[in-house]
Structure 1
Amino acid sequence: MFILTEPIYTPSKIHIPLNKEQLYKFQVANAYYDVFLKVLLRSYSGLFDDFAKINEDELARKLGLKTEEVVKILQKLDSIDVVKYIPQKNKPQIIFSTERMAVENIRLSPENYATRKKIAETKLKAIINYATSRNKCRSQLLLEYFSDFNVKRCGTCDICLERNKIEANEIEFSRVVDKIKPILKKQEMDINDILNALPEIPKEKVTSVLRWLEDQNKIVRLNDRLFKWKI
């Protein structure tokens, strides 16, 4: 559980995780930061013990630098673990109302892990299918993921716009695809064989669907004559 607060201003904080001897050695070896660290230590007390509030503008005035330069130096010192720097914030904060369990204390049984993995894989496959599908309405795919199967094509997604160019209604389109897909997966067929397999559908509509499937790279034409479903 967590609580989202209103925007709260919290000043920047600094802590030096090194001991005094380690910091001194760093200053000797890195003269560029020596003056900066001396001013920091003289301006704020207790930096070795805990986080202390600081003011970047005040440090900038004392050092004769721009505030942005002071921030960059603090960020650099933080990145090399000489100081721990928490920049000021003035945005809403998240406060956890219960203790967060340490990662090393989290245990998942093999059964729970397998279940979570299967759910994650299902979600990933659904995302991939949504992004790569070339013959089903995007809205239908999205709603079917949430178990809503009784929806019509939206008519406005990229798939539907291409389908709208075909002079065949949805029933005729589905009938052609459902009929020829299993056949073309097993063997190649020429246009005449396909038309003979669908005598109940006008030839011009069958050829329109075939043209669309070929444009969408669902079927391929072999030797400019035979069609085959692309796996």
Structure 2
Amino acid sequence: MTVSVVQFGGSNCDRDAVRALDRVGVDAERVWHEDGLPADSEGIVLPGGFSYGDYLRAGAMAAHSPVMDEVRAAAEDGTPVLGVCNGAQIGSESRLTPGAFTTNRSARFQCEDVYLRVENAETPWTDAYDEGDVIELPIAHGEGRFEIDDAAYEQLVDDDRVLFRYCDADGNVTDAANPNGSKGNVAGILGERENVAVLMPHPERAALAELGGSTDGQGVLEGFA
């Protein structure tokens, strides 16, 4: 499988994503957004960073890049698409997934390790885990608070489209374990179909053992394999 990691002006996790995907046996290449998707793209990553400096709203300008029309079409055809951090914001702004990501409850940029509880283990992105597993991934965002209206949130829950919730080390989903104020402690969700997922924490930053931290993110990236 060849995964295209779409690079926008201001992306800064594209190289990390390529290296982490290589670690789990997935071929990946960086693709400049103005060049469009290669014909042989079998997967797509929208990486983290600060596309277009996060002007207007985080991800809003990148969502209007012509390449996103190709990404949406590919997603509709069943191509796996993963949006991480700024990529999650782009995915939301592009309507690949419902809801929105907005300013953290603290109104500050936050960079720290967090715990996530696996809510649905029957997707490509969570197949490496069991439901209820607790994994540790880093966050690095200023606009990571997931917001969605009550009815749409209940539909997400009913459809089992919540992938991860912020929790404590023992798996308790509490307000104290919610780093940014996300509704329902939501950290990652599916699109209308399970081939599309977005999450704010960074699995690619928790995939290389030589960095000395968690490697829990490998399971998410293995969704491409």
TM-score normalised by L of structure 1: 0.22
Q: Which has the higher strand share?
A: 2
Q: Which has the larger radius of gyration?
A: 1
TM-score normalised by L of structure 2: 0.22
Q: Which has the higher helix share?
A: 1
